[in-house]
Amino acid sequence: MLTNKQIKTDNNKIFQDIIDFEILKSIINYLLISKNYNNNNNNNNNNNNNNTSNQYKISKFYLNRNEILNYILVSKKWYNFLSLTISNNFINNKSFEHWLNIDKNNNKSFIENYNNQNQYDKNNLIYKNKDNKQNKISYNKEFSIIKIKESIINDYFKFNLFLNSITVDEFTEIKNKFENNQLLYNRIIVNLETSYDADVTLFIIHEYLSNENSEIISNLFKILELNYNFLLPGGNSPNLEEEEDDTDDEGNNEGTELYFNNLSISSYNENVVEDRETVMIFKIFKGKNLIYKRSQVDYDYPTHMNYSELFDPDNSGQQVESIKVIIETDGNGESVEARHLIKVNQFENLHSITIPIYSFQILSNLSEEIGFFVFYRNNAEFGNSGTSENMKSELIQMINSFVTSKSLKNLNISSVNSNYSISYKDYASYDGDHEILANNINENIESFSNCFKPLFSELNTSIERIGFDCCGLLKINTFSNLLNNKSIKYLYLNNCDFIVHSPKPIDSDLHKEPISINKYLFDNIFSSPLTSIRHYKINIKKLKQLKFIFNLILNNIFKLQLYSLIFEFSQNELIGEFFKELKNLINNISTQQQQQQQQQKISNNINLKEIKIKIKDDEHIQELNNINNPYFATVIKKIA
């Protein structure tokens, strides 16, 4: 195995090699460590002992290989150091299955595989991009950067087995060998392919477990990792009714659970108005990372999902680390309600939540509660989303559950139908009184906005990453305590400009005046030394918005405490305009620095280190590479 070597000093050198190597290591860490993993390794009960915050990613190695090659070519000494550093990182993090092309089945069952290690490509590392295009990187060649002894890889796969299927007999065999201390593997990872047969197999295994020792099975699932996506027809879970009967007097399941690493459910019960049963499957099958997908929509007979059981640790279990609800079609207003989320703070290991809410439906319910008009209705109200007994109380409870959670680190809240616009012409009951209508709307928006204020204040001591679709409903005052917050490092606000409605009819509508939240954040939050926020993501929809953001950057360039700014674009046409604005920004910064020198002022440092843009194609990559930017890195990230 490669080992770290003692770095010798040379008394004739002004700067010792150790200084060069520390700088090189910092550069390589920046190029190869994924920033997406920095927040998830705080979970104390994570069974994966790898320190993912320091783990090099083969995808980033592939994308940054040319820059790494430039450092490699400086000298043989640099080559040896970088090769050693990168190779050792891959070895120490034991991530071979992520970048070696493994034949996971070999057309063999577990029993046939038992005395045979997996076969893998001994010539190439494999990187697949989001288009599923396979890219190869050679290793262990004479001039390869990555060099790992074959014996190390062989030993790894000798004790780690990867399968695409499992039968009841194979599960029984694994369990028996584990129970008798005869299991050779330290880990068995089964990435099950979605099928009806796999569904049936897993339910049979679950029934089999009901008669087994719970402690033995619990320890078994620390070695056996199952990953699966259930496609349940009509939302009906086999034997769910029997499971409800197998509980003791305190409501605890008497059987032994079947545990998954990643568990996804794609279904809903289309025969009911409000579906509470489908997510009850998470009571039968326990997963660390839970995903519920909703795609089918019947507009004539809409079904609304009750997600309360999904977000209840008494049902889903304390092993849960992340929950994601994906609504692929939002035309009927399907969403997670505030009342479904009031038990989030009872989870002990839950670090990530991704959910859609229905902001305008919530706003309408708040209006109805205080005796104003119901200005918004959606198809899902025929379920239960439009019949909240006390929306404001439920909204406050939801936010309180978020901010009092001790484990929650990542919170991403989108909104369905976020482009909805409140229109005066829909409210004939006001007999043309714009002032009453505008005042009522503004009062309800303020009530909605105030409910979210604790999320962006010192009351939130755990959440580090927040993504939120504001829908133009969050006032500046909502963010007024952000400087007191010390936990938020990453902030993404979509549709954040606050809309004020005024009684000035324009084409039978109200006048809507946008108030820039971005200006407040750049001038008062991001420019303050007290802020904890280091990364801010912006979704650009119009050219005017793009120009405005670059003006904010320039006006605060020497005060900004941000490390990175991330740009997303609703239209590809805006990307070309982005490069024009970026060039203008660079030139204007240079001009400001020259003026400071002429005035004999000490040049201010620029804390902003990175501007990242997310694009869907390679059209502008060369244009970015041609920009001379001495102030901060510009990075392109391709998205699907």
Q: For 350-364, how does the pLDDT look when each residue is reduced to its tens digit (9 = 90+)?
A: 999 999 999 988 888
Residue 465, H or E segment: strand 465-469
Q: What SS3 class is residue 514?
A: strand
What is the tens place of the pLDDT at every residue in 516-534?
A: 999 999 999 999 999 999 9
- Model confidence at 72, pLDDT cuts 50, 70, 90, reads confident
Would the pLDDT of 569 be above 60? yes
Distance between CA 248 and CA 468 in Å, rounded? 41
Distance between CA 172 and CA 621 in Å, rounded? 53
The answer to whether 599 touches 575, Cβ cutoff 8 Å, is no
Please give the full DSSP string across 326-347, using - where no structure is assigned. EES--TT-----GGGGTTGGG-
Residue 54 has φ and ψ, to the nearest 5°, of -110, 15
Distance between CA 441 and CA 445 in Å, rounded? 6
Token match 């501007």: residue?
611
- Model confidence at 407, pLDDT cuts 50, 70, 90, reads very high
- Model confidence at 348, pLDDT cuts 50, 70, 90, reads very high
pTM of the model: 0.83
Tokens of 211: 């008669």
According to the model, what pLDDT value does residue 93 have?
76
For residues 546, 547, 553 and 555, what is the CA-based torsion angle, rounded to 10 degrees?
A: -160
Residue bearing the bigger pLDDT, 62 or 114: 62
CB atoms within 10 A of CB 130: 10
Would the pLDDT of 543 be above 90? yes
For residues 553, 555, 558 and 561, what is the CA-based torsion angle, rounded to 10 degrees?
A: -50
Distances in Å between the alpha carbon of 292 and those of 86, 296, 379, 609? 37, 13, 20, 37
Residue 435, H or E segment: helix 434-451
Tokens of 502: 């005024």
| Helix ranges, 33-75 (H) | 58-63, 65-72
CB atoms within 10 A of CB 624: 17
What is the tens place of the pLDDT at every residue in 591-619?
A: 988 887 777 666 578 999 989 888 776 67
Residue 106 has φ and ψ, to the nearest 5°, of 55, 25
Tokens of 481: 């305590």
Distance between CA 567 and CA 574 in Å, rounded? 11
Taking residues 195-201, report their average pLDDT: 85
Would the pLDDT of 452 be above 80? yes
According to the model, what pLDDT value does residue 21 have?
78
Residue 90, H or E segment: helix 76-93
According to the model, what pLDDT value does residue 376 have?
61
Residue 574 has φ and ψ, to the nearest 5°, of -75, -15
- Model confidence at 636, pLDDT cuts 50, 70, 90, reads confident
Distance between CA 482 and CA 487 in Å, rounded? 10
Measured between alpha carbons, how far apart are the two ends of the chain, in Å?
Answer: 38
Would the pLDDT of 50 be above 50? no
Token match 């790894």: residue?
156
What is the tens place of the pLDDT at every residue in 458-515?
A: 999 999 999 999 998 999 999 999 999 999 999 999 998 888 878 765 556 677 888 9
**Can you give the length of the chain in residues?**
640
Would the pLDDT of 107 be above 60? no
Tokens of 213: 């020792």
Going by C-alpha positions, the residue among 251, 401, 262 that lies closest to residue 319 is: 262
- In this structure, of 26-40, 108-122, 277-291, 557-571, the range with the lowest mean pLDDT score is 108-122
What is the tens place of the pLDDT at every residue in 213-255?
A: 888 998 999 999 999 988 766 545 545 545 554 544 444 444 5
The answer to whether 30 touches 21, Cβ cutoff 8 Å, is no
Would the pLDDT of 58 be above 70? yes
Tokens of 310: 């999904």
Distance between CA 161 and CA 486 in Å, rounded? 43
According to the model, what pLDDT value does residue 102 have?
67
According to the model, what pLDDT value does residue 379 have?
47
The answer to whether 515 touches 502, Cβ cutoff 8 Å, is no
Would the pLDDT of 39 be above 50? no
The answer to whether 323 touches 310, Cβ cutoff 8 Å, is yes
Taking residues 204-209, report their average pLDDT: 90
Percent of the chain residues topping a pLDDT of 70? 73
Environment class of residue 76 by beta-carbon count within 10 Å: exposed (0-12), middle (13-18) or buried (19+)?
A: exposed
Distance between CA 282 and CA 393 in Å, rounded? 27
Residue 629, H or E segment: none
CB atoms within 10 A of CB 79: 16
Distance between CA 531 and CA 254 in Å, rounded? 49
The answer to whether 313 touches 321, Cβ cutoff 8 Å, is no
The answer to whether 412 touches 354, Cβ cutoff 8 Å, is yes
Tokens of 293: 């997908």
According to the model, what pLDDT value does residue 560 have?
96
CB atoms within 10 A of CB 252: 9
Distance between CA 71 and CA 474 in Å, rounded? 47
Residue 408, H or E segment: none
Please give the full DSSP string across 265-292, using - where no structure is assigned. EE---TTSSEE-SGGGHHHHEEEEEEEE
